Amino acid sequence: KQEVTQIPAALSVPEGENLVLNCSFTDSAIYNLQWFRQDPGKGLTSLLLIQSSQREQTSGRLNASLDKSSGRSTLYIAASQPGDSATYLCAASGGGADGLTFGKGTHLIIQP
């Protein structure tokens, strides 16, 4: 059974810092790895999707990497802003599971 773990569970940093969120998964036979953002009481917004054959994807200040062999993905946020405060979820597609298998998320607070 695929399991996805996110570390840390919570993170608070001053505005302007660069930061890294970590995601690990147990079954490397994934189709892709997705990162989502969730604001309090809201739905999920897709940030980045990394295909199983890719090593990284970039969108603006966000960069996501994927290392299938080690079962790890990271989300790098450059020059953090208070508006980046949210919960960040990673989810693996495939790996023996139907639908997406989600981590429990990292709750990020950017201090002004």
How many residues form the binding site for another protein (CB under 8 A)?
26
Q: By C-beta, is 94 or 110 nearer to another protein?
A: 94
Considering only 14, 41, 60, 112, the residue that binds another protein (CB under 8 A) is 41
Q: By C-beta, is 14 or 98 nearer to another protein?
A: 98
The 3-class secondary structure across the chain, one letter per residue, is CCCEEEECCEEEEECCCCEEEEEEECCCCEEEEEEEEECCCCCEEEEEEEECCCCEEEECCEEEEEECCCCEEEEEECCCCHHHCEEEEEEEEECCCCCEEECCCEEEEEEC
Preceding peptide of 14 cis, ω within 30°: no
Q: Footprint of another protein on residues 51-110 (CB under 8 A)?
A: 51-53, 89, 91, 93-94, 97-100, 102-105
Q: By C-beta, is 11 or 97 nearer to another protein?
A: 97
Distance of alpha carbon 93 from the chain centroid: 13
Residue 42 in contact with another protein, rule: CB under 8 A = yes
Q: By C-beta, is 65 or 80 nearer to another protein?
A: 65
Contact footprint for another protein (CB under 8 A): 4, 31-32, 34, 36, 41-44, 46, 49, 51-53, 89, 91, 93-94, 97-100, 102-105
